[in-house]
Amino acid sequence: MSFPLLTATAALPAIGAIATAAVPAARRTAAKWLALTVSLATLVLAGIVFARFEPGGERYQLTESHAWIKDFGVRYELGVDGIGVALLALTALLIPFVILAGWHDADPSPSSQLRSSRGGPNETNPYHWRPTQGFFALILMVEAMVVLSFVATDVFLFYILFEAMLIPMYFLIGGFGDRAHAGSDENAAAQRSYAAVKFLLYNLAGGLIMLAAVIGLYVVAGSFSLSEIAEARADGSLDMATSTERWLFLGFFFAFAVKAPLWPLHTWLPNAMGEATTPVAVLITAVVDKVGTFAMLRFCLQLFPEASKWATPVIIVLALISIVYGALLAVGQRDIKRLIAYASISHFGFIVLGIFAMTSQGQSGATLYMVNHGLSTAALMLVAGFLITRRGSRLIADYGGVQKVAPVLAGTFLIGGLATLSLPGLAPFVSEFLVLVGVFSAYPVAGVVATVGIVLAALYVLVLYQRTMTGPVREGIGGMPDLKVRELAVALPLIALLIFLGVFPKPLTEVVNPAVQHTMQDVQKKDPQPEVEAAK
């Protein structure tokens, strides 16, 4: 038997999470280093998976299949395609940066230490209310579940992971809030609790509807295995009634649209990103939310091709609303983190638009967009977090003239912002360009509307930079230190990747394109031919 590489890649952070949680309470630094070491080891395994993947080979590679719940036909079945391997690599890459950026986010606050010194409720364990070990253990557990969800080819196994990752995310949002929250500690705790519960209820509702669809799929197909269902479709033994396929599609798509998030199911995201610590906010939008858009490609289009084409016009309208609506709300934000959250809603609109344009350029662009959005949002949000930590405020109005006192911080913030607005030469430009090419070739009017989001992105990014970094130095900014070594270790590699993939995207495109062609075959779509023939 070959080495179970995919299982090992997911199991390592899960085991690391248990080990990190078991570190004694007084050994906070040891817990941090253990979590970082595990995340780097996971990155090495993910790199091996990426290196061993053959773009022109079988659709699903490095496969594993074992009986799990025999009575219900559930199997522990794994396999990675070009889309999954790209997102697996993204997840493994970002987690070490998330851990480094959050190095002190779970340290005890001065107020907690003061209560302890006075014999308060935390006397026996001054770190009980904000356990460092728990914070990093939860991050590693999220990584394990997300990695496994990108390689699961059994629908029931995917569903279990899709729902289970809500538990550690709930505690990360509700238990470890942003210390730059305006107002009293009690008000901050209430806002965190509200954001965490809203996140949980929205995603749980989507998951319960998906559960009904998963059961319905088993009743119709008699299997949870993607490969078995595909074979049954190919040989004609599985022929879903049109109405049944549409209802099942809607059950799956609703859950994925909540996770993505897509308008009008998006409202949980600004609250969650605003109240969570900055690294957790990155974990939400750059890692966890990608499971939703990934699942649209793997499950909606592959399992329900006819229903996907039937629903395309409505989904394109929803995606366009997300693009414009999210960008407009980003323009009007006064809170830095909420601005980035609404910008992400706009970007997810582009991803969904590219997927359901049903063209190879659109779907390749959407997959690249998932990766590049993860990199650009991580760069911008983490540097913004470093800025917020220094000032103690998330309000844009509290900043000004930062580039004069912290030029490196301002420069990295600018590059992250320019990547967010898809400046040519940076990675997101390639993906956004491909999405628009694919959309214009199939739905020209939708392409025109989508370009409004590009204009608005330039507006909210450049206005944010102007108000925070330029102009006279505001009170409280003068003594602001520049980025430190640990913070540079977070920001510079992300910026280097944005530049590298902006000028040389081939390492991703050659992996993604064959997988997209398989998806196009699933929905039996071909790219529209140009109306004007090329000159001979």
**381 in Cβ contact with 278 (< 8 Å):** yes
Q: Identify whether 127 is part of a domain.
A: no
Q: Is residue 158 part of a domain?
A: no
Q: What is the pLDDT of residue 80?
A: 93
| Residue 127 pLDDT | 40
* Of 322, 214, 219, 206, residue with least CA distance to 263: 322
The pair phi, psi for residue 114, each rounded to 5°, is -65, -45
Per-residue pLDDT tens listing for the chain (536 residues): 478 999 999 999 999 999 999 888 878 889 999 999 999 999 999 999 999 999 888 889 998 988 888 878 788 999 999 999 999 999 999 999 999 998 888 777 654 443 444 444 443 444 444 478 889 999 999 999 999 999 999 999 999 999 999 999 999 988 887 666 545 466 777 788 888 899 899 999 999 999 999 999 988 888 888 888 888 877 777 778 888 989 999 999 999 999 988 989 888 899 888 888 899 999 999 999 899 999 999 899 988 889 999 999 999 999 999 999 999 999 988 989 999 999 999 999 999 999 999 898 999 999 999 999 999 999 999 999 999 988 888 889 889 888 899 999 999 999 999 999 989 999 999 999 999 999 998 899 999 999 999 999 999 999 999 999 988 888 878 788 889 999 999 999 999 999 999 999 998 999 999 988 888 887 777 777 766 665 55
Do 106 and 31 touch, CB atoms closer than 8 A?
Answer: no
Residue 47: strand, helix, or coil: helix
Report if residue 442 sits inside a domain.
yes
Residues 322 and 266 sit within 8 Å (Cβ to Cβ): yes
Convert 215-252 to b/e letters by CB count within 10 Å (16 or more is b): eebbebbebbbbbbbbebbeeeebebeeeebbbbbbbb
Does residue 50 belong to any structural domain of this protein? no
Q: DSSP string of 496-535?
A: HHHHHHHH--HHHHHHHHHHHHHHHHHTT--PPPPSSPPP
In-domain check, residue 348 = yes
Q: Name every residue whose Cβ is closer than 8 Å to that of residue 375 and which is 6 or more positions away in sequence.
A: 90, 94, 286, 419, 427, 494, 497, 498, 501
286 lies in some domain? no
C-alpha closest to that of 310 among 353, 262, 247: 247
What tokens appear for 478 in the block?
Answer: 């003068």
Extract long-range pairs of 311-315: CB within 8 Å, 24+ residues apart.
311/246, 311/249, 311/250, 311/253, 311/356, 312/356, 312/358, 315/253, 315/352, 315/356
Has residue 389 been placed in a domain?
Answer: yes
What 3-state DSSP class applies to 237? coil
Domains contained in the chain, number: 1
Domain that residue 374 falls in = 309-527
User: Would residue 332 count as lying in a domain?
Assistant: yes
Residue 110's pLDDT is what? 53
Supply the pTM of this predicted model.
0.90
Give 84's Cβ-side CA count (13 Å radius).
26
